[in-house]
Amino acid sequence: MSAKDAVTLGAAGPMMRASGIQLDTRTLGYAAYSDIDFDIITSKDCDCYARCEVRINEIFQSFHIIRQAVNKIPDGEIAVDIKGNPNGEAFVRLEQPRGEAIYYCRANGSKFLDRMRIRTPTFTNLMPLLHTLKGCELADVPLLILTIDPCISCTER
C-alpha cells in the first residue's frame, strides 16, 4: 500500500508506518512520552514484510521505552484517591500496538455516563486492509489479514 493510499484510507499504526509515514500519537507528548526518547519505526517497502518488520522493530523500541520509563519513576506514593463522579467530557488519542485509538467520554456527574465511544486501530485499518486484498491470490488473504494484527472483538461493536 503506497503512502498516498495509506493516508487516503486512514491507515493507523504499523499499517501506516510500513508505508513510510512517520506518524505516531506518542509524539504528542501525552502521559510520560514527553520525557521519553524514542524513534518512530517506519519502512518504505509498503508490503506485508514491511508491516512485520515495523512490528518487530517496535518490540525492541518498546524495550528501550520501558527501560527509560522505569528509570524515571519518581519516589513516593503511586496511588491517587479518586472521589465522586466525573462531570464533563474527554477526548483522548493514544497509541496502542495496533495503532492510534480514540476514546470519547461524556459524564453527567452521576455514576452513569451519557456517552462513551471508542475507535480502535483494527476498525481504522479495515479500509486499508480491503485495499490490500484487491487482486490478491486467495492463498495470500490470511497473511494480509494477519499483518494488521486484527482484534475481532474490537471490531464487532
Average pLDDT of the segment spanning 128-157:
88
User: What is the pLDDT at residue 81?
Assistant: 83
pLDDT at 155 over 90: no
The C-alpha angle with vertex 67 and arms to 64 and 71, in degrees rounded to 5, equals 140
In the chain, the N- to C-terminal Cα span, in Å, equals 27
Q: What is d(CA 156, CA 152) in angstroms, rounded to the nearest whole number?
A: 6
Enter the C-alpha cell of residue 132.
Answer: 490490500
The pLDDT of residue 77 is above 90? no
Greater confidence, 9 or 153? 9
Please state the pTM of the whole predicted model: 0.82
Please report the DSSP string for 79-111 in residue order: -----S--EEEEEEEEEETTEEEEEEEEEESSS
pLDDT in tens, 27-37: 998 888 999 99
pLDDT at 80: 79
Q: In terms of Cα–Cα distance, which of 29, 70, 61, 66 is closest to 42?
A: 61
pLDDT confidence bin for 157, thresholds 50/70/90: low
